[in-house]
Structure 1
Amino acid sequence: MTTDKTVNSEIAKNVDERLKALSSIGSDPTGGMTRLLYTDSWLQAQKYVKQQMESFGMTTQFDEVGNLFGRIEGTDLPDETIMSGSHIDTVVNGGKLDGQFGVVASLTAAQYLLEKYGQPRRALEVISMAEEEGSRFPMAFWGSKNFVGVANDDEVKDIADAEGNKFVDEMHRQGFDFKPKQTRRDDIKAFVEEHIEQGDILEHEHEQIGIVNNIAGQRRYNITLKGEANHAGTTPLSYRHDAVYGMSKIISKALDRAHEIGDPLVLTFGKVAVKPNTVNVVPGEVLFTMDCRHTDAEFLVNFTQELEEMMKATAKEQGLGIDIDLWMDEAPVPLNDEIVATIEKEAKAEGYKYRIMHSGAGHDSQVIAPFYPTAMIFVPSIDGISHNPAEDTPFEDLVTGVQLLADTLYQLAYK
């Protein structure tokens, strides 16, 4: 394959026009993008992608929940499908690339291949998934979970958004319904998702491409420490059962331990809610969150269990009660070695600066990978910023990413 300037200019034109068009659908008056599942702007965006697919010869269809598929039939192996895509929804006041760049990249790569090489041997399919972010309703990966047949309809039947709009009512309003139970597709031989990195490793290392071989597992906790609220002026330090002091010792010990271990371990303490949360009262209770991620499942479990024991011991030393709620436990997801090797071979052949890396963020690929051979391509994020109107990537890196995706899909669908 070649990446001559004519090819790159064709890809660049389509990427530029499509990103600008999609970014105008659901643009937030305060800047950035807000395009949430089953809103009018969401449906408008899906219809735009559908029109773009059909403009160069793809046959299109929606599934029952709103995932959109564009397909080019294969010649020699029509019962084998190579798929690429990402999600069309955004976070609230998010950026112009998360999700929709992967959709644009996939349909642009498919158009380039069809126009340059004609019909593929294997069917080539692009998916624009209905939802990934979980930003409107308390349900994430609705699109990919339905695609692979693991969505639980009961989880969404009674949920609503912040304005009280029911999930089911909004789904029906846009013309969609629950998927009937059916056999999972057996024709998909590869799935490749392109995405911005949402971190700053590629930028710091002056690399154009990240080839993702693993999506980190996550364990998330709500931790509650209970002490005794008391007068801030009259209660000596030695008499106190200060919940915030106990929290500070736990966080310090945990982060010190994490820094000792280093990459690829990451540990984050985020939300903090203090009671009574007033200036002149010793805090009697505090709830705080912990997010721990690693690419090795056994290590992740062992390390977080080590922290749980440390927390209990620290709470006991401080005379505090403790409740530890593990509310998310997602194992790491290894991606397909053969597809990773194919992407690397193409990147190396074109002289791209790349690295093999893991993803610390979750993606639709982690839902799809247990069922179909899957890999991901990352392009750099400026300053590592994402889920923010400032989210951006140098345009030449976007074009390089799409070209590499096209080269990869050529090897998978045409060879």
Structure 2
Amino acid sequence: MIEQPKLSALSGQVENLIEWLASYGASEAGGVTRLLYDPSWRSAQRAIESRMAEIGLLPRYDDAGNLFGRMAGRDPEARVVLTGSHVDTVTGGGKYDGAYGIVAALIAAEYLLARYGPPLKPIEVVSLCEEEGSRFPMTYWGSGRITGVKSREETAGLADANGVTFERAMREAGFGFGRHPAPERSDLECFIELHIEQGQILEREGQSIGIVSHIVGQRRYDITVTGESNHAGTTPMRWRRDAMSTAAALISVLMNRANEDGAGLVATVGRMEVKPNVGNVIAREVTFSLDVRHGDAAVIRAFCEECFRAFDVIAAEHGTSVAIRKWMDEPPVAMDEGLGSAAEDILRTAGIPYRSMTSGAGHDSQVFGTFCPTALLFVPSRGGLSHSPAEFTETEDLERGVKLLIDLLHKLAY
């Protein structure tokens, strides 16, 4: 393990930079809102660009708005070791999600450059332009453009809640004109993302670091139940074709079977739309969302198939019909075993408690994970809270993550 600053020497730097980045998009309620290409997003990217230049990195944007700070390598043929995370937030989100990975990468790069000089392989810190999908119905725009899995054509017709089109927002922010290099990269050796867990496992088990082995697969559906509207007072229960009653029975099937699953599958119904949505009228139509996640695609498939067979039976019993629309089917993505083992070696030598784990949330690492060797590393989240102003990670845990990143970058690039 390389010589590093003591934890106490890092504490002020980590805390100050977290607060500094959180000031861009801060609200009076304590949350942070930086949506793709909005004024707070632009200010944050410009501030990070200035910080990169101050610590000796060469900053540049690509044409999607991803920001890179390059530490040139001594080997002109070497591929890039990329590290960072996303700068955007959800509306009213916390100050650590995404931002911590950028701050940690800046601190690590500054320390390595000052202590050891230029690396053998180039290191780049990236502030990815978008991951959350909070402004437009498009997630992983930043990492997706770098890896080539997202295209400009996919944004056609997309608009935010105020009717501003994706194309207009991008151009108002200064991107999409071809003035910057094309986003697609072919020179990456690996990607390392340091992130808060956004869950409770590390905190509950007293572990300081999580080394992610897989990011779970996700399926998302819109499920619509169609029945018949009728008078709430004059229609006997046995003659009703009640879409709401059917939907309740279907959701009960989902929750009961998910609770019975012993392999860690999770199922969530988080949104519901009812028509005509009147208190004294039997519901004619109910549409609800379904989100299913697990580390094994076969488990997800079997769960959905079993539940959907039960749906048909229940709908027939209620005199209603069910239509199922699948709009997301993301397979599980494995992180690189070699990078994970390198992180484990560092943690064992330092005597830092850690565990291998899966990620139940999606991250840019799942996009990079099918493109180049990728490592996703977690630090604890207090109470598992995230996407909230209450999001918090102890400074000592933030510092340990930065120290791990310093060691890992040194091992890979020096």
Count of equivalent residues: 413
Pairs within 5 Å for 1:136-285: 136-177=135-176, 184-285=184-285
CA distance in 1 between partners of 2:253 and 2:37 (Å): 44
CA distance in 1 between partners of 2:40 and 2:234 (Å): 57
TM-score of the two chains, using structure 1 as the length reference? 0.95
- Superposed CA RMSD in Å reads 1.8
Give the deviation of 1:78 after TM superposition.
Answer: 4.6
Q: Which moved more, 1:41-50 or 1:170-179?
A: 170-179
SS, match of residue 202 in structure 1: helix
Structure 2 letter corresponding to 1:292? V
Structure 2 letter corresponding to 1:348? R
Give the deviation of 1:389 after TM superposition.
Answer: 0.8
SS, match of residue 403 in structure 2: helix
Q: Spell out, residue by residue over 1:301-358, the C-alpha distance to the aligned partner (whole angstroms, 9 max, x if none).
A: 2221222222122111221111111111111111111111111111121111111111
Give the deviation of 1:16 after TM superposition.
Answer: 1.8
Give the deviation of 1:62 after TM superposition.
Answer: 0.6
TM-score of the two chains, using structure 2 as the length reference? 0.95
- Consecutive unaligned residues in structure 2, runs of 5 or more: none
Residue in 2 that maps onto 1:83: 82
Identity of aligned residues (%): 46
SS, match of residue 391 in structure 2: coil
CA contact (8 A) 2:122 2:413 kept: yes
SS, match of residue 249 in structure 1: helix
Q: Which moved more, 1:345-354 or 1:8-17?
A: 8-17
Residue in 1 that maps onto 2:110: 111
Residue in 2 that maps onto 1:124: 123
CA distance in 2 between partners of 1:357 and 1:284 (Å): 44
Pairs within 5 Å for 1:381-396: 381-396=381-396
Q: Spell out, residue by residue over 1:361-398, the C-alpha distance to the aligned partner (whole angstroms, 9 max, x if none).
A: 11111111111100101111111111111111111111
Structure 2 letter corresponding to 1:94? G
Q: Which moved more, 1:356-365 or 1:243-252?
A: 243-252
Cα pair distance change 1:255/1:286, threshold 3 Å: same
Give the deviation of 1:8 after TM superposition.
Answer: 2.4
CA distance in 2 between partners of 1:107 and 1:70 (Å): 9
Residue in 1 that maps onto 2:413: 413
CA contact (8 A) 1:121 1:413 kept: yes
Residue in 2 that maps onto 1:133: 132
Give the deviation of 1:76 after TM superposition.
Answer: 3.7
Residue in 1 that maps onto 2:293: 293
Q: Which moved more, 1:90-99 or 1:23-32?
A: 23-32
CA contact (8 A) 2:62 2:183 kept: no
Give the deviation of 1:210 after TM superposition.
Answer: 0.8
Q: Spell out, residue by residue over 1:82-123, the C-alpha distance to the aligned partner (whole angstroms, 9 max, x if none).
A: 110101111111110111111101111111122222221111
Give the deviation of 1:132 after TM superposition.
Answer: 0.8
CA contact (8 A) 1:2 1:350 kept: no
CA distance in 2 between partners of 1:265 and 1:349 (Å): 34
